[in-house]
A and B are shown apart, each in its own frame.
Chain A
Amino acid sequence: MSYWMRWKSLFKRKQLDRDLEDELAFHLAMREAKNRERGLRAEEARYAARRKLGNVTRIKEACREVWSFVSLETTWRDLRYGARALGKNPGFTAVAVLAIALGIGVNTGIFSVLNGVALKLLPVPKADQIVSVDQVFHGKVRRNVHGEPGLFSFPEYKNYQANNHVFSGLLAYAPFLDATALGGENPKQLMGAEASCNFFDVLGERPALGRAFVEEDCRAPGGSPVVVLSDELWRTQFGADPLVVGKSISLNRARFVVIGVAAPGFRGLDPWPSAFWAPVSMQKALEPERDFLNEENTGWLALLGRMRPGVSLEEVRADLGVIAGRIDQQYSGRTTTLAIHRATFMGRPEERSVVFSIGVVVLAAVGLVLLIACANVANLLLARASSRQKEIAIRLSIGGSHWRIMRQLLTESLLIAFLGGILGSLVAFWSLEGIARYVLTHLPHGAPELMWNVRPDLHVWGYSLGLTAFTGIIFGLAPALHATRQDLSTAVKGDSGGLMRKSGGGMLRSTLVGVQVAVCMVLLIAAGLLMRGLHYAQTVDPGFEMRGITQAQFDLPSQGYTVERARTFQRELMARVASLPGVDQVEQARVTPLGHQWEGTGLTLTGETQERGFEFNVVTPGFFAMLGMPMVRGRTFTEAETQAAAPVLVVTESTARRLWPGQDALGKTLRGEDKKEFQVVGVVRDSQASHLGQTDGLFFYWPAGPHEQERLQLLVHSKGGDVAAINGIREAARGLDADLIVDVRRLEDNLEGWRIPSRIVAALSGVLGVLALLLASIGVHGVVSYGVSQRIREIGIRVTLGADGRDVMRLVLRQALWPVVIGALAGVIGCAAVSQVLSSVLYGMGAHDPIAFVGVPLFLLGVAFLASYIPARRAVRVDPVVALRYE
């Protein structure tokens, strides 16, 4: 019944209003009659009755609130009123909506990227039951790591699988498996995975063709060479052959029988799509140089479990924690904690920390842009509220409650927020797929192919909606509070442009401008630093010669090469390449300079017990000459030392300086893990051969002896031009082994991979900086214009009293620029504090680069000056006669 009345109140509002009117009139009449009975005169009786009843408007409003579906009905009215108010002022509305659209748009865009990369649940049925399990080790840890440190060994997996009480199934897979597939025209490099045989069952994924693994496939090591293909590999390699089941494919030169094809939507559990899945028991066939299945202390498997119905994450943590504790007893001094979460992409702790540290910085940056937009719109609203002061004052004095009027004003700002939010989000969603595609196709050579689902889901819509509502309240609250807290008598009299009146909103407005400028300053300096970093990365001299050098990279061990075969292969390849026209030098190295591969080991200084961590490379004697790295002391390896794998090494200059300060490094010795002593025979000049912009790590070179041959890459110097050398090397390699994938590129191409991160970051921060600057200058301009229009009369009087244009200009600019200067100062100080965060991508550049820290503030002040100069000129041209008549 009462709902019916509420609905009736919505539609029969006139009727109800009349009824209320009658009811109160009746009350007054009765009271008046009673007063008359008590002997009051007619006039007095009426006034007494009114006094007793109180403010009729307020009672009516209170009653209406009671019956109307309070929010629904009034909100609708507020909305209509707000829409009308906004429509009356299209210029203001457009600027405000655009500012908010920019702010919300960049935020929504960035969040949906973050969501696509790391927050979405896995694309499998009932994904909320799937949890990922990772280990974090503490204390004394000695462990072999293949991939990431949190991965499990096979015996550990078996232990967790057999002894847990919380999973209906626990699967394991190796996420980083490179394989060369044969069968097509050319050998093809694939990313695949070795998986436990319950892999598809636990995930609830049914193959589109054929079958998934069964337990028998995982029974005996090497016993079941079967493979499930991804939909994409099935299409590219087998032309979507419906009879593919039973055919075979060569992976890393072992034959595998295709037993099934995964459903089209399933591309594995990592952002890099998996092309195939083989049983974990086939590990040695796929990676002949390693035998992981029996190693207890080698981490290489990621674990995912499906929780039994009704089991909570807490129970999973408790149950698996017991097993972890039991395993720890085998390793004295080590404790393991488990990181257990709902499974997502990028869910392993190392990946998570990378994604979140980047995500936090970027979200903070776009949050700052939104903050500027909010301050901007708040300022516009403040300026507008003062021109609506009279209207609001009248509403307040005829009994409108403060809350009602505030709600009205907030509705207006929410309306702006939602218009802007919707506009911004739609543009963001629409442009994001394009941007993502652009970024993914411009990743450096050798980066894995990524799948990146940035399509908005409920998370994103919720985020965008919440942010929009929050924004609307944030920028609307201060102006609304300010507007309803005014002095009624002066406002109603319309004394708004009063002489020398200290407008109460002036302080608030200046503060908002200061905040905008400060935030803008932070973003611009950050952008400036990053741009400088990018410039530096583009032009940096790595300290060695790259021109004319071609690199050939290949992986022999995974293709089943023994040391003897590798030796033969390398010898013949080097001979063939050396005879190519134009080629004048061929050298070998374990890793190519700046190739994003690093080798590390521990060595102990003679006379010390504490081991130190070194990076190293294994090279042939001519390596240093080819790359233009001169010896500062001593010599390079001799041919005899190389052939005999003599215990000698060459260290870099800064390594020598750090290990033996003030002494001659030649003849000093270092002890390896197996107590073998290595003697320093040379000191080579520092270069950035390992990390661009960095020379200060401990680094040494070992000679590339006969036992190293299976892991060496080729470096070729030629005078005949890059293309000829690249094609010649490819041909030579194909002539020796057509099934081997050989990656031949210019050495200079390695620089690309170092520039990409700073290029992406610089582009992003540049765009954000320009947005911030645009918003902030609109803000400054708007506030100064408003200030001038409010003080027209004062300026007129000053001009009448003899002030000239320069005085007026000085007056206006001084008032306009002090919040800007204070804001700018705050921004510079703030940025000096946060710039350390950026230093990781600023190759070789200090975080307090003077050009960014002096140039950017000057630039911003210039822009602010311009933004206030334009309205200030208007003030100079004020005609005193017109100004004094202005009101």
Chain B
Amino acid sequence: MEKDGDLMQGTLDMLVLKALARGAKHGYGVAEWIHESSNDVLQVEEGALYPALHRLELKGLLAAQWGTSENNRRAKYYSLTPAGRKKLAEEAEYWRRMSGAIARVMQTA
């Protein structure tokens, strides 16, 4: 069943990288950032978020560190590695071209 706002795997990875571009965040923060930046349109499937974070960490695109959160709890913070930054740039470029192309196709009368 397709719901509005569901995210595909590859897209989720890209959004996670984007969410971390401005600095480290914990998992909950990533989910919230995506939700808010999309003006509440995109809902991250939280069940898929954590395996994705761990996968990206294993691929060396993210680094993780345990820290203390704003409400004084132990939390795992993720940040981009240089490889992650490079990957984000590539994904963004690819996305820009694809969405532009799709938009042009859709506009054709």
Contact between B71 and A33, CB atoms less than 8 A apart: yes
Give the chain B neighbours of A59 by CB distance below 8 A. Answer: 47, 50-51
- Neighbour of A30 across the interface among B28, B45, B58, B59, CB < 8 A: B28
Bound-state Cα–Cα, A26 to B32, Å: 14
Contact between A27 and B54, CB atoms less than 8 A apart: no
Bound-state Cα–Cα, A33 to B69, Å: 13
Contact between B74 and A22, CB atoms less than 8 A apart: yes
Given contacts A2-B60, A6-B58, contact A55 B46 (CB under 8 A): no
A847 to chain B, nearest CB (A): 61
Contact between A66 and B55, CB atoms less than 8 A apart: yes
Contact between A53 and B27, CB atoms less than 8 A apart: no
Q: Does B75 contact A (CB under 8 A)?
A: yes
Contact between B69 and A62, CB atoms less than 8 A apart: no
Contact between A19 and B76, CB atoms less than 8 A apart: yes
Given contacts A23-B50, A63-B50, A66-B51, contact A2 B59 (CB under 8 A): yes
Bound-state Cα–Cα, A254 to B109, Å: 100
Contact between A26 and B50, CB atoms less than 8 A apart: no
Q: Does A5 contact B (CB under 8 A)?
A: yes
A428 to chain B, nearest CB (A): 44
Bound-state Cα–Cα, A65 to B50, Å: 12
A20's nearest neighbour on chain B, judged by CB, is B50
Q: Which of A458-500 contact B (CB under 8 A)?
A: none
Q: Which of A41-64 contact B (CB under 8 A)?
A: 52-55, 58-59, 62-63
Q: Which of A278-321 contact B (CB under 8 A)?
A: none
Q: Does B73 contact A (CB under 8 A)?
A: yes
Q: Does A624 contact B (CB under 8 A)?
A: no
Q: Does A447 contact B (CB under 8 A)?
A: no
Give the chain B neighbours of A19 by CB distance below 8 A. Answer: 66, 76
Q: Which of B1-41 contact A (CB under 8 A)?
A: 26-28, 31-32
One digit per residue, 1 when the CB lies within 8 angstroms of any chain B CB and 0 when it does not, for chain A 62-76 equals 110111000000000
Contact between A27 and B71, CB atoms less than 8 A apart: no
One digit per residue, 1 when the CB lies within 8 angstroms of any chain B CB and 0 when it does not, for chain A 8-40 equals 000000000001101110110111011000000
Give the chain A neighbours of B45 by CB distance below 8 A. Answer: 54
B56 to chain A, nearest CB (A): 10
Contact between A23 and B27, CB atoms less than 8 A apart: yes
Bound-state Cα–Cα, A298 to B92, Å: 76
One digit per residue, 1 when the CB lies within 8 angstroms of any chain B CB and 0 when it does not, for chain A 828-856 equals 00000000000000000000000000000
B60 to chain A, nearest CB (A): 5
B54's nearest neighbour on chain A, judged by CB, is A66
One digit per residue, 1 when the CB lies within 8 angstroms of any chain A CB and 0 when it does not, for chain B 50-86 equals 1100110111100000100101011110000000000
Bound-state Cα–Cα, A760 to B75, Å: 75
Given contacts A52-B46, A59-B47, contact A67 B54 (CB under 8 A): yes
Bound-state Cα–Cα, A1 to B84, Å: 14
Give the chain A neighbours of B60 by CB distance below 8 A. Answer: 1-2
Give the chain A neighbours of B57 by CB distance below 8 A. Answer: 2, 5
Interface size class of B (residues with CB under 8 A): 20 to 34
Q: Which of B28, B73, B75 has the most CB of A within 10 A?
A: B28
Contact between B58 and A2, CB atoms less than 8 A apart: yes
Give the chain A neighbours of B71 by CB distance below 8 A. Answer: 30, 33
- Neighbour of B58 across the interface among A5, A23, A29, CB < 8 A: A5
Contact between A31 and B28, CB atoms less than 8 A apart: yes
Give the chain A neighbours of B51 by CB distance below 8 A. Answer: 59, 62-63, 65-66
A67 to chain B, nearest CB (A): 6
A772 to chain B, nearest CB (A): 49
Bound-state Cα–Cα, A63 to B47, Å: 10
Contact between B28 and A27, CB atoms less than 8 A apart: yes
Bound-state Cα–Cα, A342 to B47, Å: 57
Given contacts A2-B58, A66-B54, contact A23 B47 (CB under 8 A): no
Contact between B73 and A26, CB atoms less than 8 A apart: yes
B51 to chain A, nearest CB (A): 4
A123 to chain B, nearest CB (A): 49
B29 to chain A, nearest CB (A): 8
Contact between B55 and A23, CB atoms less than 8 A apart: no
Bound-state Cα–Cα, A66 to B76, Å: 17
Bound-state Cα–Cα, A143 to B73, Å: 95
B61's nearest neighbour on chain A, judged by CB, is A2
Given contacts A2-B59, A66-B51, contact A29 B73 (CB under 8 A): yes
Give the chain B neighbours of A65 by CB distance below 8 A. Answer: 51
Contact between B75 and A24, CB atoms less than 8 A apart: no
Give the chain A neighbours of B58 by CB distance below 8 A. Answer: 2, 5-6, 66-67
Bound-state Cα–Cα, A500 to B55, Å: 50
B61 to chain A, nearest CB (A): 10
Bound-state Cα–Cα, A186 to B26, Å: 96
A140 to chain B, nearest CB (A): 67
Bound-state Cα–Cα, A31 to B73, Å: 14
A6's nearest neighbour on chain B, judged by CB, is B58
Bound-state Cα–Cα, A52 to B35, Å: 13
Contact between A26 and B47, CB atoms less than 8 A apart: no
Bound-state Cα–Cα, A53 to B54, Å: 16
- Neighbour of A53 across the interface among B47, B55, B73, B76, CB < 8 A: B47
Give the chain B neighbours of A23 by CB distance below 8 A. Answer: 26-27, 50, 75-76
Contact between B73 and A24, CB atoms less than 8 A apart: no
- Neighbour of A26 across the interface among B26, B31, B54, B55, CB < 8 A: B26
Bound-state Cα–Cα, A5 to B57, Å: 10
Bound-state Cα–Cα, A6 to B59, Å: 11
Contact between B59 and A26, CB atoms less than 8 A apart: no
A32 to chain B, nearest CB (A): 11
B55 to chain A, nearest CB (A): 5
B69 to chain A, nearest CB (A): 7
A50 to chain B, nearest CB (A): 10
Contact between A26 and B28, CB atoms less than 8 A apart: yes
Give the chain A neighbours of B27 by CB distance below 8 A. Answer: 23, 26-27
Bound-state Cα–Cα, A5 to B74, Å: 21
Contact between B46 and A26, CB atoms less than 8 A apart: no
Give the chain A neighbours of B55 by CB distance below 8 A. Answer: 66
Contact between A54 and B28, CB atoms less than 8 A apart: no
Give the chain A neighbours of B46 by CB distance below 8 A. Answer: 27, 52-54
Bound-state Cα–Cα, A66 to B56, Å: 10
B60's nearest neighbour on chain A, judged by CB, is A2
Give the chain B neighbours of A2 by CB distance below 8 A. Answer: 57-60
Give the chain A neighbours of B47 by CB distance below 8 A. Answer: 53-55, 58-59, 62
Contact between B54 and A63, CB atoms less than 8 A apart: yes
Bound-state Cα–Cα, A22 to B50, Å: 12
Give the chain A neighbours of B32 by CB distance below 8 A. Answer: 34
B56's nearest neighbour on chain A, judged by CB, is A66
Give the chain A neighbours of B59 by CB distance below 8 A. Answer: 2
Bound-state Cα–Cα, A58 to B55, Å: 15
Bound-state Cα–Cα, A59 to B46, Å: 9
Bound-state Cα–Cα, A763 to B28, Å: 73
Q: Which of A1, A6, A23, A53 has the most CB of B within 10 A?
A: A23
B38 to chain A, nearest CB (A): 17
A303 to chain B, nearest CB (A): 57
Bound-state Cα–Cα, A34 to B71, Å: 12
A-B pairs with lowest CB-CB distance, top 4: A54-B47, A62-B51, A30-B28, A66-B54
7 more contacts with CB within 8 A, not counting A22-B74, A26-B27, A27-B50, are A5-B58, A19-B76, A20-B50, A23-B27, A27-B31, A53-B46, A59-B51
List 11 A-B pairs, Cβ < 8 Å. Answer: A1-B60, A2-B57, A22-B76, A26-B73, A26-B74, A30-B28, A30-B71, A33-B71, A63-B54, A67-B54, A67-B58
